[in-house]
Amino acid sequence: MSAETTGSNQTLLDVRDLVVSYDGIKALQGVSFAVEQGKIVTLIGANGAGKTSILRAVSGLVSYNGAIRFEGQDLKRIPAHRIVALGIAQVPEGRGIFGNLTVLENLRLATWQRTDKAEIETDYERVFQTFPRLKERQHQASGTLSGGEQQMLAVGRALMSRGRLMLLDEPSMGLSPRLVQDIFRIIQDINQAGITILLVEQNANMALRIASRAYVLETGSITLSGTGAELLGDPRIKEAYLGA
């Protein structure tokens, strides 16, 4: 993949030779991949494979060697809050909501860098249309929401930042099978509305079904890549991740 285009689609995020270390131990060892604009790209792999470290590096939350470019701009020396302003929103593993604040206050936090007040009001309505339960509970303390509702709030908060790239870290973790179906449907809806998705997910079956491209990480390196459909049908993936 070139750093500028892949086929007829522009590369929104380009990661090259990414190395992340914690206390001298390499969590990522020269990872390279690209995310095309308008696509869903998924990273799958076992716990500890390095998936979350990739998202943290893209968000500016860990130091790294290598290069990460968003819309051609090198992110290396840009602080995390400026990366959000550039158009990258992250939904962290564990949701990261503020339980003592209401639903509405959590959503409002994501708008602190925005000055387009009229558009902010429009985006509140957009979030509430996507997640009607959040509208019903907008004045409720977020810590009293169910796990599924908290995940909806985390995604809604990312939408409020108006990012063009959304990083999703284990969005289905801890949810019932029915809510997992709901969350993946919503991810597809968000993507169809024009937001590019980079998805880290343990539920490989669901992730590969919605991804246009997928990468498999093992001990800090990419070992397989292809379309979601190709990896879904790969015997090695079936044996290792799909329980077949």
Q: Is residue 6 part of a domain?
A: yes
Q: Is residue 176 part of a domain?
A: no
Query: What was the pLDDT predicted at 240?
Result: 86
Cβ 31 vs Cβ 15: under 8 Å = yes
Query: What was the pLDDT predicted at 9?
Result: 72
Which stretch of DSSP H or E encloses residue 34?
strand 25-36
Domain extent, residue 209, equals: 1-81+202-244
Q: Outline where DSSP puts E strands in 25-145.
A: 25-36, 40-44, 65-70, 73-74, 88-91
Q: Is residue 186 part of a domain?
A: no
Q: Is residue 157 part of a domain?
A: no
Q: Is residue 74 part of a domain?
A: yes
Query: What was the pLDDT predicted at 243?
Result: 65
What CATH number has the domain bearing residue 30?
3.40.50.300
Q: Is residue 35 part of a domain?
A: yes
Query: What was the pLDDT predicted at 195?
Result: 95
Query: What was the pLDDT predicted at 112?
Result: 82
- Consecutive 10-residue averages of pLDDT for the chain (244 residues): 47 98 94 98 93 96 97 95 92 86 94 83 92 94 93 92 92 88 92 96 94 96 96 92 69
pTM of structure: 0.89
Query: What was the pLDDT predicted at 3?
Result: 36
Query: What was the pLDDT predicted at 63?
Result: 96
Helix or strand or coil: residue 167?
strand
Q: Is residue 142 part of a domain?
A: no
Q: Is residue 206 part of a domain?
A: yes
Total domains present in the chain: 1
Rounded Cα distance between 166 and 214, Å, is 16
